[in-house]
Amino acid sequence: MAEKTIMLCCAAGMSTSLLVSKMQASAKEQGLDYEIFATAASDADQQLATKKIDVVLLGPQVRYLEADFKNKLEGTNIPLAVIDMTAYGMMNGPKVLQQAIDLMK
Identify whether 10 is a catalytic site residue.
yes
CA torsion sign for 7, 9, 12, 17 is negative
Q: Are strands 55-58 and 80-82 parallel, antiparallel or unpaired?
A: parallel
The residues, any chain, with a CB within 8 Å of residue 101's CB and separated by 6 or more, are none
The residues, any chain, with a CB within 8 Å of residue 21's CB and separated by 6 or more, are 93
Q: Which of 6, 9, 10, 44 is catalytic?
A: 10
Active site residue ranges: 10
